């Protein structure tokens, strides 16, 4: 990979983020979502969060605005974030940047998994979230494999900045893939950190290696007078 900088941007708050957090707080077993994961839209706040990214990215990219390489997850909440952040700036979509697929755990809270799928809850606790693959879904390692494929095709970046509009698990696993971390190192890093909605995580090339310049930076939200929301994807499952 010859990109000089990668900006990993999580989508703004989604209606499913709000529903999942409410369901967990209420001790419910299921999350009230009416659309498949790929079609979940941003909340009204999420739209404002996404729009607040535009001046931030304009300032950071400067003259490189038209030269940067930009991709988005195909999921609606990520595409909507990219559209609001970029205006009429074109970008590509790549399915390898989509959120982790939860299979039979989708739309269940942690309590719901324990109550309705106790064997899966026990299997996950035994394997750990990194290697646990729910039936019909993906392990974190499965997501890492598709991200390695994507990263391997960024060779023609020619030192340009790369912008990726994506999801919290994907942002986290890009660190694992590009920084060469172990499972233990990633878990330790995430132990007290969450990828917030509409935040920017910046990776910078340092010779042949990569380093984290900023993680889950939400300064643009504060500048716009907007609340920073976290809504970790893990709230939807038993991670």
* Amino acid 172: pLDDT: 97
Contact 209, 9 (CB under 8 A): no
- The pLDDT-based confidence of 103 (bands split at 50, 70, 90) is very high
* Amino acid 208: pLDDT: 79
- The pLDDT-based confidence of 233 (bands split at 50, 70, 90) is low
* Amino acid 234: pLDDT: 43
Mean pLDDT, rounded, for 172-198? 96
* Amino acid 2: pLDDT: 61
HEC sequence for 2-40: CCCEEEEEECCCEHHHHHHHHHHHHCCCECCCCCCHHHC
- The pLDDT-based confidence of 191 (bands split at 50, 70, 90) is very high
* Amino acid 154: pLDDT: 82
Mean pLDDT, rounded, for 45-64? 96
Mean pLDDT score of the chain:
93
Q: CB within 8 A of 82, min separation 6: which ones?
A: 9, 70, 72, 91, 165
Token pair listed for 155: 């060779």
Taking CA atoms, 71 is separated from 107, 134, 166, in Å, by 27, 28, 9
149-182: per-residue pLDDT in tens?
999 988 655 788 999 999 999 999 999 999 999 9
% of the chain residues with pLDDT over 70: 95
Place of tokens 């009416």: 34
Mean pLDDT, rounded, for 131-152? 97
Mean pLDDT, rounded, for 28-49? 96
Judged on CB neighbours under 10 Å (0-12, 13-18, 19+), 137 is middle
Residue range 5-236 in CATH 3.40.50.1240: yes
* Amino acid 134: pLDDT: 97
4-14: per-residue pLDDT in tens?
899 999 999 99
* Amino acid 237: pLDDT: 41
- The pLDDT-based confidence of 231 (bands split at 50, 70, 90) is confident
Judged on CB neighbours under 10 Å (0-12, 13-18, 19+), 199 is buried
236 or 71: whose pLDDT is higher? 71
d(CA 55, CA 222): 13
Q: Where are the domains of the chain?
A: 5-236
């Amino acid at each position: 990979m010859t990109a000089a900088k990668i900006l990993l941007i999580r989508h703004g708050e989604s209606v499913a983020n709000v529903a999942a957090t409410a369901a967990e707080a209420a001790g419910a077993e299921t999350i009230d979502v009416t659309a498949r994961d790929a079609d979940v839209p941003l909340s009204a706040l999420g739209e404002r969060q996404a729009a607040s990214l535009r001046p931030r990215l304009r300032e950071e990219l400067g003259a490189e605005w038209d030269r940067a390489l930009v991709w988005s997850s195909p999921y609606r909440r990520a595409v909507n974030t990219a559209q609001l952040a970029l205006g009429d700036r074109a970008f590509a979509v790549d399915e390898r940047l989509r959120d982790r697929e939860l299979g039979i755990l989708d739309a269940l809270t942690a309590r719901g998994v324990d109550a309705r799928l106790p064997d899966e809850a026990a299997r996950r606790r035994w394997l750990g979230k990194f290697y646990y693959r729910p039936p019909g879904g993906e392990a974190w390692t499965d997501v890492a494999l598709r991200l390695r494929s994507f990263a391997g095709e960024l060779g023609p970046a020619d030192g340009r900045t790369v912008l990726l509009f994506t999801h919290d698990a994907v942002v986290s696993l890009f660190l694992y893939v590009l920084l060469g971390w172990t499972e233990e190192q990633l878990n330790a890093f995430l132990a007290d950190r969450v990828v917030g909605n509409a935040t920017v995580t910046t990776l910078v090339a340092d010779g042949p290696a990569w380093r984290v310049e900023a993680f889950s930076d939400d300064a643009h939200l504060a500048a716009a007078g907007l609340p920073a929301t976290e809504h970790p994807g893990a709230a939807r499952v038993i991670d």
